[in-house]
Chain A
């Protein structure tokens, strides 16, 4: 019994110690010249959806909920964000080559069509990220149309 007590105490101390190791937050108010909204004429309706459902993991400016300061949640989030930005970063969209931009635009439409994005675990914690069918339709149409206009201007 005292052995179990020892374990509980050790774990509690580990848990508290963990709280002191906080990853750097992905926060930047600065809107780069390469920002998605700077390089394309993105309608407000689209922008709002993207900010609401995508930007937390796919931009340089995440919105952090209160529990994001508790470990190990913060580490998991930092990893998600880093992975997300690797694949697609709206803040840095203009730095992709023209061809890659087209690929990304089509990729966004496909991911939404296949219901792969936003990912389920994120939607679970962020009800606002759940997209209505009409919103999905709007995003897909706009992404595909933009991709097509870029391909034809090439």
Chain B
């Protein structure tokens, strides 16, 4: 009998201990509605592969963002959720480092329209290494964001191909950007690697 009471009591305190720490963060979060950014900052520490040079030089890191996206795209095309997640986290880090001062005024509006959404998709892809289909759902919307970002900030000096696969997105079709002309489908992966056509070449 004693053992049962003791066991129950220990369970209760363990639970309490687990939660007392997070309770503080909850309060902090509630006071800060824009905790998205702070989350991104935390994730920043997990990745150091992206260079600081672009941000430090006061240039908008379009090339870095595109590189991160392409890495992510190639991981999905290879059905590799782990690599896709790593690339997603790297993108979050790159986006978190963006210095708003480097964005020209006439591009600010379109940047603001895309920024939050893009970051959120990168975060979700980063956090769902084991769920590649979920990553792909976010990748559909991320690709739309990236297309608009490239329209605003250019292709970072790299020819890009806008591809379309009518079978992706449950038969509703979806686009993606690629650095190679050959089709490597990130939505269907090895199931149908060559489904899709080049719709546009962005030089």
Contact = CB atoms under 8 A, between A and B. Distances in A.
Interface of A: 4, 7-8, 11-12, 14-15, 18, 21, 23-24, 71-72, 75-76, 78-79, 82, 86, 96-100, 102-103, 106-107, 110, 114, 116
Nearest to A5: B2
A54 B35 CA distance: 21
Interface stretch (B9-17, B42-50, B56-64, B93-101): B9-17
Given A71-B16, A98-B113, A114-B133, A103 B22 contact: no
Given A72-B16, A75-B20, A82-B30, A97 B36 contact: no
A76 B6 contact: no
Interface residues of B, number: 35
Contacts of B140: 106
A4 B7 CA distance: 11
A96 B112 CA distance: 11
A114 B10 contact: no
B36 A23 contact: no
Contacts of B27: 23
17 contacts: A7-B6, A14-B13, A15-B13, A21-B23, A72-B16, A75-B22, A76-B19, A78-B26, A79-B23, A82-B29, A100-B120, A102-B141, A103-B121, A106-B141, A110-B137, A114-B134, A116-B134
Contacts of A107: 137-138
Nearest to A9: B9
Nearest to A92: B33
Contacts of A98: 113
B23 A97 contact: no
Interface string B117-151: 10011000000000101100110110001000000
Contacts of A4: 2, 6
